Each structure stands twice: as C-alpha cells, then as structure tokens.
Structure 1
Amino acid sequence: MDSNGFADRLRAREKAVGYWVTLDAPAATERIARIGYDYVVLDGQHGLLGTRGLLDGLIAIEAGGSSVGLVRVEANHATPIGRALDAGAAGVIVPLIDSAEDAAYAVRAARYPPVGIRSYGPTRAGLRIGPTPADADAATVVLAMIETRQGLANVEAICATPGLDGIYVGPSNLCLAVGGRFPGDPDVAVPFNAALALIAETAAAAGIAAGIHTPSGEVARQRLGEGYTFATVSSDLDHLQAAAAAHLAASR
C-alpha cells in the first residue's frame, strides 16, 4: 500500500484494520503482510526487535505488498522516532503520552525543520517517499498512545495537538490506569469502557483518527463499530502460541 494513500485515509478517519508483530521473523512478517491488513505494526517497545529487526521487518512488509509498516517506538524521543522513520516506517506509534506537550514533542521529532526537529538523513525512507522533507512530512503519520491516568485526563488537549494524526489506545495499561489489578480486570469494566468511549468521542470531536489494540478480529469489529477508526488485531506471538496449543489439544 502507498504510504501517502494510507496517511490520507487515516487522516480522513477511514476504517482500517492492522496486525501487530513482536517477533524478529521477517519471513513470517512478509506472509502476514500479504494477507490484506491495511497496516502492520512492528513493536519496538515490548517486542523482540532491535534496530536490524525493525529494518528487516519493514522490508518484509513492503515485500508482502498489501500493507504499510508502522513502528511502535520504544520511547517518546527523537532518536528512536527518527531511526524508525529512516528505516522506512510509514509512521510511528509513540507510547506513554501524558500531555499535550508530550504529543507536540512526538510530532516535532517526526517532522523535518522548520516544522520539527527530525534530523535529515532519510536513508531507506527516501526510496519510499522521496528526499523532499515536505513530502516526507506529508506521508508520515504520528500516533500518540493514550494509556496512562495522565494521558486520559489530558486526552482533549492531546487530541488538539497541531500535527498529530491520531491517538492509539493501549488497553492493558489503560486498564491499570483506571484502577485495574491486571489487564482485563473485570472489576473495572465500567470505568474502562467509559474511558474507551471518552477517547473515541474526543478524537472524533478533534477530527483525528482513533485506534486501539484488540485481542481478536471480533473485538476489532466491535471497537470499529463503537467509533474507533482503526484497530489492530492481536499479535504474531499470541497467535503462534494459541494455534500450537489448539493443535496439541486436538491431537490428544
């Protein structure tokens, strides 16, 4: 998929479904990228992917041919953000955004001067979007994760950040942020669902995209029906374990 086309669709709040990759297994990532997901995210924060793994994964996604590659970077810092984009990512998901100031920094780190502070050195990225900084900025999406108590409290200001293309819910941390003892704690289902609704409504009011991680295609469809504009399905590692366990159970 063309990076510019994906950016345009996301900014227009068109529905999209993606997949999450945590393993440094380019051949497997390439297969996933052939299925038809709109985007594939490489997890540079909690995944088992170093710098070379991100590069190989992005090459594999492009070889798959039907998805664009995004990277969830390890931190809200110009170095990992720039490295992911230089490697050819169509955009970044930035974790642990607590405030509008955090979101504004993430935007600046992903944009070239005079808009931002990204160092010019497009390397592989230049093969996808051209060497012109303005073209690169137009094709690059920046998504801020809402997953902390502070981020939830400041979600309206975060969504109003100039240049921010969307927000992305990390449900595990968000569940903890609203008082859960563990991700998915049923005792906080009411405040958790209220938080999800607030986030989706706030993004819609600001005119930006709203994304969320989900454990299954069924939940992804549910969230898209609740106002989210893009949803990511599970992960390669979770599906590998689930498939292996199901086959073992069937064989016994």
Structure 2
Amino acid sequence: MRENRLRTLFAQKKLALSGWVSMGNSLLAEVVANGGYDAVTVDLQHGLFSVESAIPMLQAISTTDAVPLVRCSENSLGEINKLLDAGAYGVICPLINTADDAERFVRACHYSPRGGRSYGPARGFMYGGPDYFTHANRTILTLAMIETNEGYANAEAILQVPDLDGIFIGPSDLAIEMGLAPDAYETRELNDAIRTLVALAQKHGKYVGIFAGTMDMAQRMKEFGMDLVVPGTDIQQIKAEGARRIAALR
C-alpha cells in the first residue's frame, strides 16, 4: 500500500505542514498541493461544497506528493466511508466532545474487526494500491478535533480511545467557548489550553495538529511541539498575498 508520508514524518519527529482547501475547485486544490506542503486538507465542514466536489479535488491532490486529507462535515459513517473510498488518506473529524464520539469516529474509519467501515470497489484502492484492504486500518490517519469546552475537558479520555491517532485543535471555536474572540490567538488563556492539549497528546503517544490563523501563531505552534500545522486556508492566503501586492504598488 502507498506510504502515508505523514506517519513517516511523525515517527521522525519532524513538523508536517498541510495546505487547506475550502473552495470546491480541483484546479485550486492541485495548485495548493504543488506548493510544497506535506499534505492538503479538503474541508467539507466549512467549505461550501459536497462530497461530489471533493472527489476531483482529492484526485488533483493525488497527482502530487502531498498526502490527501479531508475534514468531514460531521461524525457520519456514511460520509466518512465515501471520503475514504474516494482516496482520503486521513480524516479530521470536527466536534469530538467525548470518548464515545471518538470511538464512533474511529470505527467509521476502520474495517472490521476494529470498525464498521463498509467494503466496496472504490478509488481508494487505485490510489492506495492492490493491498489497500490489508493495510488500510494501519495507514489511514484519524484525528479528532478538540474545539469545545466539553472536548477540552474530556481530552485525556478521548486520547485514550484505541486506534485514534491523535487530535486536531480548532483554536477559533475553542476561543469562542472560552468567552474570547475567535481570533484571540495571542491570549494566555487559549495558549495555556493549547499547551495542555499538546502535553496530553505527547503523554499518550498521540499526534497533535492545529489550524494557525496567523504566521506568528504558526511559528509559536511549531515551538509548542505540534506535529502538524495548517498555516491558513486557501482564501486567507489569496487575500493576504493580494493585499500585500496591492499595498506595495499603491
């Protein structure tokens, strides 16, 4: 089966960087994936597109060395199965608040006997290789999003769910839950919570990733010991670079 390079980077204790595509366009996904990222995440939670649009985006990412990841719209076996069948090599699942939520997510990503993923002809077999079924359970990456007060309080129990690979921190929603602004990336309260989550993940030998809303935050998250950092979305980067060029020419 095709290697999941994120697992290799994590094992080597090297920081992985993921692009983030929230516009439902396969050419844009291909452009982002050619930018040098270790992975590219197709965002179905806040991206304004469906599974049908995600499939050509995953195909476009697969023409590059970037690992194709998805953020599903919800903890749904049906949607997660389709995205894995489409060739996603890892799933970030939003709003995991309890160990039971995490267990349901893990089961959706694994074939029996560990899980309840259904078997059928799919693009994942073409991308992963003829021995996909044999190795998929050990290759597909599962990251549970911690982004609520409840999820934060239950983080240690979530991290102890067998075969969950790690957590992915949603800092904006976590900040909102803490009574802060969604872009309060510099506040001590939020950063203390992030440090706690990193320490818990490392304690249990699990991976930890985060979305970074600014470059200052991305650098700080690297210093915190993150395994995976997303340095902004496609929309944010297009707007920022456009503003930079306009300002330079004005």
Q: TM-score, normalised by structure 1?
A: 0.92
- Determine if contact 2:145/2:168 at 8 Å carries over to the other structure: yes
Q: What letter matches 2:22 in structure 1?
A: T
Q: Does 1:212 align with 2:204?
A: no
- C-alpha separation in 2, matches of 1:12 and 1:162: 22
Counterpart in the other structure of 2:103? 104
Pair 1:123 & 2:125 matched: no
Aligned to 1:225: 223
1:176 equivalenced with 2:176 (yes/no): yes
AA aligned opposite 1:91: G
Aligned-partner SS, 2:167: strand
8 Å contact 2:42–2:69 — kept in the other structure? Answer: yes
Shift of 1:220: 2.0
Letter in 2 for 1:171: P
Contact 2:5 2:67 in 1 (8 A): no
Unaligned residue ranges in structure 1 (runs of 5+): none
Work out which of the residue numbers 192, 201, 204 in structure 2 matches 1:203: 201
Percent identity between matched residues is 35
Change (3 A) 1:119 1:11: farther
Q: Return the alpha-carbon distance in structure 2 between the equivalents of residues 118 and 8 of structure 1.
A: 24
Equivalent residue letter for 2:70: V
Match of 2:150 in 1: 150
Residues 122 and 8 of structure 1, relative CA distance in 2, 3 Å threshold: farther
Alignment CA distance shift 1:122-1:166 (3 Å): farther
The answer to whether residue 155 in structure 2 is matched with residue 164 in structure 1 is no
Measured after TM superposition, the shift of residue 15 of structure 1 is 1.8
- Does structure 1 retain, via aligned residues, the 8 Å contact 2:4–2:67? no
- Is residue 2:209 matched to residue 1:242? no
| Contact 1:3/1:140 (8 A) holds in 2 | no
Mapped to 1, the partners of 2:134 and 2:179 lie a distance apart of 43
Aligned length: 248
- The aligned amino acid for 1:145 is M
Shift of 1:20: 0.7
Distance 2:208 2:31 in 1: 27
Q: TM-score with structure 2 length normalisation?
A: 0.92
Q: How does 1:34-49 map to 2 (within 5 A)?
A: 34-49=34-49
- Does residue 1:141 correspond to 2:141, yes or no? yes
Distance 1:153 1:112 in 2: 30
